[in-house]
Amino acid sequence: MKKPHYILIFIFFLTVNLVQAQDEKESKFNIIGYGGIGYGIVENDNEPNYNLNNNGGEILLNYRINQKFGIATGIGLNELTGNGFNSIGNFYHERTMLKVPLLATMNYNVSDKFRMIANFGLYTQNIAKDEYRFLNNSQKDIYNGWNFGVQLGLGFLFELYDNFSAGINYNGQSDFSNFKTDNNQGINDQQKLKNLNSMGIILMIEV
């Protein structure tokens, strides 16, 4: 298991313990975690575009303003892999991204055991690891820094136990600012990730 996974797991359990320590009879918080697989498009300014596969997820702490609406933040991780080509040659690309979202959330109870949740908002993200493997060499950290984007999510949950629900989830995001090349390692370009869509599972814990 890679280091970013340990970070997500640690934050998840730390958040659970902190929130459960509250003495309030009716907490306004819940924890939402989801993960899935999908793909997105790397959109370059000067180089050809290409697709990347994605394994990712997020852990969110959601504050319920009322029964239907809330606000959430947390941490996300996306691990991107795929093949492409540019002015240097063909390559295999691996990238790990850490993301911090700020989302408006909506909760709708379809029935006593079945609910729909949605979120929409902004995020900022950083490239934690980046490697292009060409035929004869590898180049790391060609792009770096932070960028920003917009995301939305939609989940359908079934209550399995008191205060615990699980279901399926869709998540989509698109950058609206660019990453820029660093150290000019044979590439001078800007890029962003567009239409990153994923499907997977979602868990919710009422605390």
Each residue's pLDDT tens digit, 38-88: 999 999 998 899 999 999 999 999 999 998 999 999 999 999 999 999 888
Structure tokens at 197: 């869509």
The pLDDT, as a whole number, for residue 78 is: 96
Global pTM reads: 0.82
The pLDDT, as a whole number, for residue 9 is: 59
**Cβ atoms of 203 and 166 closer than 8 Å:** yes
Which residues span the domain enclosing 182? 3-206
Count of domains forming the chain: 1
The pLDDT, as a whole number, for residue 119 is: 96
CATH number of the domain where residue 25 is located: 2.40.160.20
**Cβ atoms of 155 and 167 closer than 8 Å:** yes
Secondary structure of 85-113 as H, E, C letters: ECCCCEEEEEEEEEEEEEEEEEEEECCCC
The pLDDT, as a whole number, for residue 23 is: 44
The pLDDT, as a whole number, for residue 67 is: 85
Positive or negative CA dihedral for 140, 142, 148, 152? negative
The pLDDT, as a whole number, for residue 59 is: 96
User: Distance between CA 109 and CA 94 in Å, rounded?
Assistant: 40
The pLDDT, as a whole number, for residue 10 is: 59
Mean pLDDT by 10 residues, the chain (207 residues): 57 55 64 95 93 96 92 96 91 96 94 93 95 89 90 95 93 94 73 95 92
Dihedral of the alpha carbons of 137, 138, 142, 148, in degrees to the nearest 10: 140
